[in-house]
Chain A
Amino acid sequence: MGIQLEVNGSLIEAEKGETILSALNRNGLHVPTICSMKGLSPTGACRMCVVEVEGRENLVPSCSFPVEEALKITTHSPRVLKARKINVELLLSNHPDDCLYCERNGSCELQSLAENLNIRERRMPGNKSPYKIDRSSPAIVRDPSKCILCGRCVRICEERMATSALDFAYRGNELRISTTLGKPLNFSNCIACGQCLLACPTGALIEHVQFPELDSHLHAPGKVVVAQYTTAVAVSVAEMLGKKPGTDMSGIIRTVLLRYGFDHVIESSLGADVMIMEQVAVFQERKKEGSSLPLITSSCPAWVQYVEQYFPELIPALSPLKSPQQIGGSLVKNWLPEIIQAGDKEIVSVLISSCTAAKNEARRVEMTSSGIAIIDYVITTRELARLIRLSGLDLDHLEEIAPDMSVPGSGTAGNLTGVAGGEVEATSRTLYHHLSGKDILPSKLHRFRVNKAYREMSIKAGKQELRIASVSGLSHAVKLIEEIKAGKRSIDLLEVMACPGGCTNGGGQPLPVDDHLIRIRSKAVYDMDNGANIQEAHKNPHVIKIYEDLLGEPGSKVSRDLLYTTFTKRDVLL
C-alpha cells in the first residue's frame, strides 16, 4: 500500500514501514548521510540526513523516521542547510588539516561534504585530538584523530565480518573507536581483512602503505624486482584511472610496472594454478583418510587467521597449502631465478593484491622459507593506481610490452580465484578431470557464479558424488561452520573467502565500493575466463613446466617443502 508524502512541494510515493530516507532515495532525491551504510543496521547518529517535517518541533533524521501519510517534508530549506553545515563544521573544527598528505585526499567523504556545503572557513576552532596513530599492524593504520565516529567500521566488523575487533569505547568527549583494552591492532583479534577501510569515510583507517619503500629497490644493482599481480587487481584498478569499470588492465599494469623499473611481472594466477594442482592431491589424500570434515580452503589469509583465533579445532580441516599469492612468491624465489638467470642477484618479490590481509600474511613466520620472507612487499590496488599515476605514462597511447610468461589469451583457471566461488569452480575442473579422466563442460559449474553468499553444488565425477561449496563474508561463514560442526551439513570441499564477494571486494580495492561495482568486477573475471583458450590449471604449459623443472608431481616432497604451510592456534582476546 502506497503512502503519499509531500516533499519540497511535490508528491512522492512511499511504502508503508520504510523510512523517509529510503523513500527519498527511491524517488531520486538526495540527502547527505555519513553514518548510514547500505546493508548495515541504521543508527541515526550523524544527523546529516535531517529534514524539516511540518509540525515537528525539531528537525528529524530521515534515516530512522518512518513515513506517515501526508507528511510534509522539506529537504533543503535554509534551516536544514544551516544545521548540516554547522554539524560538518563541528567535525572539521578539530580535524587535522593535512588533507593534502592524506591517503584519502580525493576520496574522502568528509572532504566532499565540506565542499558540497560550501564550507570555506574554520569558524569554530577546536582543540586537537590527543590520540596517537596505531601503526602496529602490517596491514592497517588507524589514525583516531581523523575519525569522525560514524561507527561504520564497528558495524561492518561486527555484522559482516563477525569479528568485532573494534567497538565504541568511553563516551562523550572521550568517545573513541577502540580494540579491547585499547590494544594496538596487531595485538587484537583484528584479522586485517580491511573491510573497515572500505567502510571508513575518512582517512582514519587506511592500509599500511609500502610502495614508497619499494622505490629504493627498483633500478638497484644486484637486485631483481619481480611483481605478481592478482586478477582482482587487474579488473578493478581501471576505476581509479578514469577507465570504464570492469576493464581488464593486465596489459597496462605489466607495461607500466616494467617501465617504472620492475624487472619482471607475472600473474598471480600462475600460483593459483599450481595451488589447484596441489589442492586436488590434498583432497584425494583427505578422502582416503576418510575425514568427516570438509577440506576447507586456506587461500584467504583473513580466513586463516580467523580459524586460528576462533575455530582452532578446525585447523586440521584447513588445506595445508599456502595461498596462491604465497605459492606464487615461492615460485618467484625458487623457480624463477633459474629461468631468468638471475645469478647471484637478490630477488625482491612484490605482490600487488586487492587484499590487505596479504600484508599480514607476508609477515607470518609460517610463510617464510628458511627464515626469509617469500613476499617482501605487498601493495594494494589503490597503491598500484597511485604508482601508475606517478609513472606519468599516457595510458591511452601505451605500447604494451609483451608479457613475460602469461598464457596466450587471458590467463587460465587461476584467474577465477579472484571471485568468491572461483577457487572451487577452478579446482572442480581439474578434480573432475582427475577423477573421471574427462573434462567437465565449464558451464556446468556456473552454479558457483550466482550472486549469493553461499553457493553449493553436487558434482558426479567418475564414481564419486562430491558436494562442493563456497561461502563468502565471515558472518555467513561462521553460521555455516556452526552448522557443519553440529553435523547439519556435509560438504566435501569448502571454499571460504572472508570478504563478502571474495577478493574483488578486498580491503585494498578502489573506493568507493558498492554492490554494483563488485558485480561488474566479478563479471570481468568471468569474461576473462570465458574467453580463455586454456581453462584448466593442469593444461597451463607453465604449470606443466614447473612440475617438470621443480616440483615433480603434486604432493611431492619438494611441493611439501615449498608450498605447504602450518597453522597455529592464536591466543588473543576475542
Chain B
Amino acid sequence: MTETARINEILERFPQIKRNALIPLLQAIQDEFGYISETAIGRIGDHLSLPTSKVFGLATFYNQFSFASRGQYHITICNGSSCHMGGSGELLSEITKMLEITDGECTRDRLFSLEVQSCIGACGQSPVMAVNDKYYAGVEIKELRAIIKKYRKDASG
C-alpha cells in the first residue's frame, strides 16, 4: 500500500471533523509510520480543515511525535530524577560520543536513533534504558558499550 493510501485508511477511522480528533489521529499516524511525514501533515490539515501550521505547531509541542523516521534500533533513555541521579546523563553523553547522535536524531546508516524520555516510573532500577522493546536496568557505561556493540553485530550478521 502506498503511504497516501495508508494515511487515508487511518483518516477514515476518524470521520468526525472535530479538532479534538487531532491528537488521536496524529498518534495513530505516529504508531503506524513511526513518524509524521509532510504528506501526513497535509492530509490531516485537509481532513480536519485545520491550517497545517496548527498541526505542526501542535505536534511539536508534544514529545510523542517525531518528524523523521527512526533507526532500526531505537534507543530510549529515561531521564527521570532517579535515573539522572543514577547517571543517565553520562549514558547520554556516551551515546552521543559513540554514535554521534543526540535526542531525536538518527545515525546516518539509520541503524540507531535516540530518544530521551521523561520518567517512565521504574525509579527503583535506575538508570533505565531500552532498545526497541527490550529494557535494561541499572545500566553502567561499560554495559552500555557492550549493548550497542551487540546490536551493531546483530545488524551486520
Is A–B contact present in the complex under a CB 8 A cutoff?
Answer: yes
Among A2-10, A175-183, A220-228, the stretch in contact with B: A175-183
Report the bound CA distance from A188 to B67 in whole Å: 17
Alpha-carbon separation in the docked complex, A401 to B16 (Å): 66
Bound state CA distance, A250 and B61, in angstroms?
50
Judge whether B157 is part of the interface by a CB distance below 8 angstroms. Answer: no
Given the interface pairs A164-B51, A167-B56, the reply to whether A180 lies near B61 with Cβ below 8 Å is no
Can you give 29 contacting A-B residue pairs, CB < 8 Å? A163-B51, A164-B53, A164-B54, A165-B53, A167-B51, A169-B56, A169-B57, A169-B60, A169-B61, A170-B60, A170-B61, A171-B60, A171-B61, A178-B57, A179-B56, A180-B52, A180-B53, A180-B56, A181-B38, A181-B41, A189-B51, A189-B52, A189-B53, A573-B42, A573-B45, A573-B52, A574-B45, A574-B46, A574-B52
**B residues touching A (Cβ–Cβ < 8 Å)?**
38, 41-42, 45-46, 51-57, 60-61, 67
How distant is the Cα of A574 from the Cα of B51 in the complex, in angstroms? 6
Those of A135-177 within 8 Å (CB) of chain B: 158, 163-171
Contact partner of A168 (CB less than 8 A), chosen from B38, B57, B67, is B57
In the assembly, what is the distance between CA of A320 and CA of B139, in Å? Answer: 69
What CA separation (Å) do A168 and B67 show in the bound complex?
A: 16
Besides the contacts A164-B51, A164-B54, A171-B60, what 16 more A-B pairs have beta carbons closer than 8 Å? Answer: A163-B51, A164-B53, A167-B51, A169-B57, A170-B60, A170-B61, A178-B57, A179-B53, A180-B41, A180-B55, A181-B38, A573-B41, A573-B42, A573-B52, A574-B42, A574-B46
User: B46 to chain A: closest CB distance in Å?
Assistant: 8
In whole angstroms, how far apart are the Cα atoms of A165 and B53 in the complex? Answer: 6
With a CB–CB cut-off of 8 A, which chain A residues contact B46?
574
User: In the bound complex, what is the Cα–Cα distance between A159 and B122 (angstroms)?
Assistant: 45
A117 to B103, CA, bound (A): 40
The 9 closest A-B pairs by CB, nearest first: A164-B51, A167-B57, A167-B53, A180-B52, A573-B52, A169-B60, A180-B56, A170-B60, A169-B57
Minimum distance in angstroms from B59 CB to a CB of chain A: 9
A-B contact count (CB 8 A): 53
Chain B hits for A164, CB < 8 A: 51, 53-54
Least CB distance from A399 to B in Å reads 52
Q: What B residues does A170 contact at CB under 8 A? A: 60-61
Q: A188 to B53, alpha carbons, bound, how many Å?
A: 9
CB distance from B66 to the nearest CB of A (A): 12
* Closest A residue by C-beta to B61: A171
The A contact surface, by secondary structure, is loop
Q: Which residue of A lies closest to B53 (CB)?
A: A167
Q: Which residues of A contact B51 (CB under 8 A)?
A: 158, 163-165, 167, 180, 189, 574
Q: Which residue among A158, A166, A573 has the maximum number of chain B CB atoms within 10 Å of its CB?
A: A573
Determine the interface band of chain A, counting residues with CB < 8 A from chain B. Answer: 10 to 19
Q: How far is the CA of A166 from the CA of B54 in the complex (A)?
A: 8
CB interface residues, A 499-557, toward B, < 8 Å:
none
Question: Given A573-B42, A574-B45, A178 and B53 touching (CB < 8 A)?
Answer: yes
Bound CA–CA A164/B38 (angstroms) = 17
Chain B minimum-CB-distance residue to A162: B51
- CB distance B54 to A573 under 8 Å? no
A168 to B42, CA, bound (A): 18
Bound state CA distance, A181 and B45, in angstroms? 13
Chain B's nearest CB lies how many Å from the CB of A64?
21
Would you give the shortest CB distance from B36 to chain A, in whole angstroms?
A: 10
Does A573 contact B57, Cβ atoms closer than 8 Å? no
What's the Cα separation between A573 and B50 when bound, in Å?
A: 11
The residue in chain A whose Cβ has the minimal distance to the Cβ of B39 is A573
B-contact 0/1 string along A307-340, CB 8 Å cutoff: 0000000000000000000000000000000000
Complex-state Cα separation, A168 to B60, whole angstroms: 9
Least Cβ distance of B95 to chain A in Å?
21
Q: Return the chain B residue nearest A157 by Cβ.
A: B53
CB distance from B54 to the nearest CB of A (A): 6
Q: Which residues of A contact B56 (CB under 8 A)?
A: 167, 169, 178-181
Complex Cα distance, B61 from A70, in Å, reads 40
| A180 and B56 alpha carbons, distance in the complex (Å) | 6
Given the complex of chains A and B, what is the CA–CA distance between A573 and B39 in angstroms? 9
| Closest A residue, CB atoms, query B54 | A167
Docked pose: A164 CA to B42 CA in angstroms? 14
CB proximity of B37 to chain A, nearest CB, Å: 10
Interface contact A181-B57, CB-CB below 8 Å:
no
Closest-CB distance, B156 to chain A (whole angstroms) = 34
Q: How far, in whole Å, are A499 and B38 apart by their CA atoms in the complex?
A: 30
Complex Cα distance, B52 from A169, in Å, reads 12
Query: Using Cβ atoms and an 8 Å threshold, which residues of chain A touch B42?
Result: 573-574
* A residues less than 8 Å from B53 (CB atoms): 164-167, 178-180, 188-189
Give the complex CA separation of A169 and B58 in angstroms. 7
Question: Across the two chains, which residue of chain A brings its CB closest to B45?
Answer: A574
